[in-house]
Structure 1
Amino acid sequence: MTLPQTSERDEAGFTLVEVLVALALFSLLAVVLFDGVKFGLQAWRGGSARTEAFQRELAARDVLRRLIGNLYPMMLGEGAAQRRIDLDGQAESLEFLSDAPAVSGGAGRFRFKLLAERQRDRVDLVLQSRAELAVDQAPERTLLVSNIDRVEFGYAPRGTASGEAEFSTSWQQQIEPPGVIRLRVVMRPGDGRSWPELVIAPRLQADVACVYDALTMRCRGR
C-alpha cells in the first residue's frame, strides 16, 4: 500500500515573501489609521480652542456691558468752576467707577480702567481693577481680548440717539457722564474672529450720593 505524498508547498506554510508582504500591508494600514486618528485629534483640539475663545470673548462683552452700564458718575472738585465727573475717557482707554464685581461680594465700588495695552508687535484689550478706597493697592489685570489690531472708544452727550450720535474721542473734565459710550475692537487683517461694536448707555447720569454743601461748595463728607 502506497501512502499519499504531500507537496513541499503544503509542508512549508507561508513563504518569506508572503510574510514580508503581509507586514508591509499591516504597516501601511497602521500608518493610515494613525494619520486619521491624529487628524481627528487636531480637529477636535482646534474646535475646542475656538469654542473656548468664543466663550471667553462672549463673557468679556457681557462684563463690559454691565460695568459701563453701571458706571458711577461721582462728582469731584471744590468750586462750581472746578466740579467734574470722576471719569477719564480717551481714544484708547476709559477709566471710571462702577459696581464691585461679583467675586468680591458685590460690596462698594471699584475703579476700572479699560485700555489697549501694547507689547512689542501685539495689542491686547485689558481691564484693570481695584477697590475704590484701596489707593495703595496695585490694580488687578484681566486680559479680555488678545492679539488685536486696535481699540477705539467714542463718547456722545446725553440726549443723543445711539444710531445718530456723533462720537468724540475724548471725554475729560466734564460735568456729566457721556450719554452713550461706544467701544470698537478691530481685529488684525486675516483674523477670523469678530467683535461686534458695543454701544452702551450708562444708567446713572448724576451723583445721587452727593449732598451739596453750599459752605464748602462740595459734596458733604468728601
Structure 2
Amino acid sequence: MLVRIIRECFDGDISSMVSESRRQSGFTLLELLVAVTILTLLMTAAFGSVYYASKSWKTGIATIENQDLRRSADRFVSGILRQISTHSYSEDGRRKIEFNGSGRSVGFVGPTPANDELYAQYEYQLEYKRSGTSGELVMFYRPRLPGETGLSMDDKDDRLMLLSDLKNLRLSYYGRKDDRSMSRWHSRWSEEIEEYPELVRFEYQIEGERMPRRSVIGIRSSAKGVDGNRSG
C-alpha cells in the first residue's frame, strides 16, 4: 500500500514536471507545424499579389511605350509629308509631279534627314507590308543626286519600320485632278496628275483595338517646275 502511494505521488510529480517543461520550452511540434502552414499560405498569397501587380505594371508600361511609339510615328509621318517638295518635271513632252499614291503606299520627294549634309533631297516611300499574321508601315528612303527627277524607289533601298501590329491600312488623297473637276477624295494619285493632292489621309487599325485610327495631313497643293517657275 505504501509503495503504491509513493508510486502515484512520483508519477504525478513526473507528469507535472513534463507539462511544466513543455510550457517552458515553447510551442509543441503540432503548433509549429500549424504556424508554418499559415505562414506559407500568407507568403504565397503575398507573392501572388506582387506577381500579378508586377505583371499588370509591366503590361501598362508596354502599353504606354507602344502608344508613345505610335504617336512618334504619326508625328514623323505628318512632319515629313507637310514638307514634301512640290516640283514638277517634263518627260516626253508631258508634265509630271514627283508624287505617286495608292491605297497601300505613297511615294514622294522630301527633306534630307538632319544628320545628312551631303544631299539636298531624299526620295521616300511609305508602304504597308504584311509581316506574318499582321502588317507594318515601312518607310523606304534614298538620297537623290543633283538634277535627278522622277520616282525610282525599290525594295533594295534603305528601310525603316514605323508601325507594327497593323490589322490593315488604307491611304486616300484629297484634291482635284484637273482644272475642270472639283476637289474630292481619291483612292489613287499618279505622277501624270499635274497637281499635288491637298490632303493625305491615313486610316489604320492596330491588332487588338476595336476602333480604327485616322490621320489627315495637309500638304502644299501647287506644283513648281524644276526650273523654279511656278506651274499652274
TM-score by length of 1: 0.79
| Alpha carbons 2:205, 2:211 under 8 Å: kept | no
Distance 1:11 1:75, change over 3 A: same
> Per the alignment, do residues 182 and 106 of structure 1 end up closer, same or farther by CA in structure 2, a change over 3 Å counting?
farther
Query: 2: CA distance between counterparts of 1:20 and 1:115?
Result: 66
* Structure exhibiting the larger radius of gyration computed from Cα positions: 2
Residue 204 (structure 2) pairs with residue 185 (structure 1): yes
1:121 to 126, 130, 133: 133
Superimposed CA distance per residue, residues 132-169 of structure 1 (whole angstroms, 9 cap, x where no aligned partner): 2398994332222212221111112259xxxx963111
Q: Which residue of 2 aligns with 1:63?
A: 76
Q: Does 1:151 pair with 2:156?
A: no
Q: Is the 8 A contact 1:115 1:126 kept in 2?
A: yes
Q: Report if the CA contact (8 A) 1:75-1:207 is conserved.
A: yes
Shift of 1:177: 1.0
Q: SS where residue 171 of structure 1 aligns?
A: coil
Give the one of 86, 93, 99 matched to 1:87.
99
Q: Check 1:106–1:39 CA distance in 2 against 1; reply closer, same or farther (3 A cut).
A: farther
Counterpart of 2:5 in structure 1 is none
Q: Secondary structure at the match of 1:36?
A: helix
Equivalent pair of 2:197/2:221 in contact (CA under 8 Å): no
Q: Which residue of 2 aligns with 1:174?
A: 193
CA pair 79-24 structure 1, distance change in 2 beyond 3 A: same
More helix by share: 2
Runs of 4+ in 1 over 6 A off after TM superposition: 134-137
Identity of aligned residues (%): 22
Q: How many residues align?
A: 201
Q: CA contact under 8 A between 1:99 and 1:106: conserved in structure 2?
A: no
Flag the structure with higher strand content: 2
Shift in Å, 1:179: 1.4
Which of 11, 18, 38 matches 1:8?
A: 18
The answer for unaligned runs of 5 or more in structure 1 is 213-222
The structure-2 alpha-carbon separation of the partners of 1:74 and 1:123, relative to structure 1 and needing over 3 Å to count, comes to: same
